[in-house]
């Protein structure tokens, strides 16, 4: 009987040690995004990346409604977004279309943002356009690296993986074959030849810096310099889904 009691006690002690070791291992592990719960008690993992949608800002209100979603998120802005919104919006609470890099998080526990299902912590602005201009959420960007346009005279181009498409009022729509990017110190260069009966050289330089459209006031983060056979034009550019380094 004595030997059975001693064996049972030894087994119990070993089990306690195992439990302590397991508990210590769990406590030492860092919290993951999935461990953070929202107001409803459901896990809400962080989602980093580029989002497009309508931004509304004013006293006691900062919301973002992503394209193709019905959800409105509370917004934690950054200076570049705040400044662009103030430049484009005619008044407080006016919607402005933006493309931003941000992180989705759970809604704050208190304050004005607590009434929303989540919040978006903005990291950087990619572009901001008036809600009355452009295609907004309907713009097709899935098959392009960049789009660019300029005013006076107007021009517009799309950079695909294998070609560049250019349209201007004074030049018939032209396709330039080949569009492999060359890395510059602060951006990219694309060079190509037209596929028409007369060969025309095109060079497009994109530099990473803020650019404002002179007609619409839209704000972009790429400056474009277009050289068509020696005719130099300037404008702004924005990224497509295939842009180098795009998340």
At residue 47, the pLDDT reads 52
- pLDDT tens string 101-137: 999 999 999 999 999 999 999 999 999 999 888 788 9
**Burial of 210 by CB count in 10 Å (0-12 exposed, 13-18 middle, 19+ buried)?**
middle
In the chain, alpha helices (H): 2-28, 79-88
pLDDT mean over 81-109: 96
Q: Average the pLDDT over each of 19-23, 29-33, 160-164 and give the range with the smallest value.
A: 29-33
Query: What is the distance between the alpha carbons of residues 141 and 145, in angstroms, rounded to a whole number?
Result: 8
At residue 211, the pLDDT reads 97
Residue with the bigger pLDDT between 144 and 30: it is: 144
Query: What is the distance between the alpha carbons of residues 11 and 146, in angstroms, rounded to a whole number?
Result: 68
Query: What is the distance between the alpha carbons of residues 11 and 150, in angstroms, rounded to a whole number?
Result: 80
Query: What is the distance between the alpha carbons of residues 239 and 3, in angstroms, rounded to a whole number?
Result: 77
Place of tokens 């972009």: 220
- pLDDT tens string 36-66: 233 333 334 445 689 999 999 999 999 999 9
Q: Does 147 have pLDDT greater than 90?
A: yes
Q: Supply the pTM of this predicted model.
A: 0.76
Please state whether beta strands 155-159 and 174-177 pair in parallel, antiparallel, or not at all (unpaired).
unpaired
Contacts of 38 (CB under 8 A, 6+ apart): 44, 106, 107, 117, 118
pLDDT mean over 91-102: 96
At residue 5, the pLDDT reads 40
Q: Does 155 have pLDDT greater than 50?
A: yes
Length of the chain: 247
Query: What is the distance between the alpha carbons of residues 67 and 75, in angstroms, rounded to a whole number?
Result: 15
CATH number for region 46-131: 2.40.50.540
Q: Which long-range contacts (CB under 8 A, 24 or more apart) does 201-204 make?
A: 201/227, 201/228, 201/229, 202/164, 202/166, 202/176, 202/226, 202/227, 202/228, 202/229, 203/227, 204/148, 204/157, 204/159, 204/164
At residue 48, the pLDDT reads 66
Is the omega angle on the peptide bond into residue 14 within 30 degrees of 0, that is, cis? Answer: no
170 falls in which pLDDT band (50, 70, 90)?
confident
Mean pLDDT of the chain: 83
Give percent of the chain above pLDDT 70: 80
């Amino acid at each position: 009987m004595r030997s059975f009691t001693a064996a049972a006690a030894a087994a119990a002690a070993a089990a306690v040690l195992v439990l302590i070791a397991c508990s210590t291992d769990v406590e030492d592990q860092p919290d993951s995004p999935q461990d953070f719960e929202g107001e409803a008690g459901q896990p809400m993992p962080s989602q980093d990346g580029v989002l497009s949608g309508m931004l509304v800002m004013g006293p006691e209100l900062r919301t973002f409604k992503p394209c193709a979603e019905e959800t409105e998120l509370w917004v934690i802005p950054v200076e570049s977004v705040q400044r662009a919104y103030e430049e484009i919006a005619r008044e407080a609470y006016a919607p402005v279309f933006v493309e931003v890099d941000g992180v989705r998080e759970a809604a704050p526990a208190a304050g004005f943002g607590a009434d929303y299902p989540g919040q978006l912590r903005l990291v950087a602005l990619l572009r901001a356009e008036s809600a009355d201009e452009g295609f907004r959420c309907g713009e097709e960007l899935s098959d392009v690296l960049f789009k660019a346009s300029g005013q006076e005279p107007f021009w517009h181009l799309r950079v695909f993986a294998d070609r560049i498409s250019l349209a201007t009022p004074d030049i018939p729509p032209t396709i330039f074959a080949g569009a492999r990017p060359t890395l510059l110190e602060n951006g990219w260069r694309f060079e190509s030849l037209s596929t028409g009966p007369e060969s025309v050289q095109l060079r497009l330089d994109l530099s990473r810096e803020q650019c404002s459209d002179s007609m619409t006031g839209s704000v972009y983060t790429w400056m474009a310099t277009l050289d068509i056979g020696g005719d130099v034009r300037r404008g702004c550019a924005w990224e497509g889904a295939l842009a180098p380094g795009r998340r």
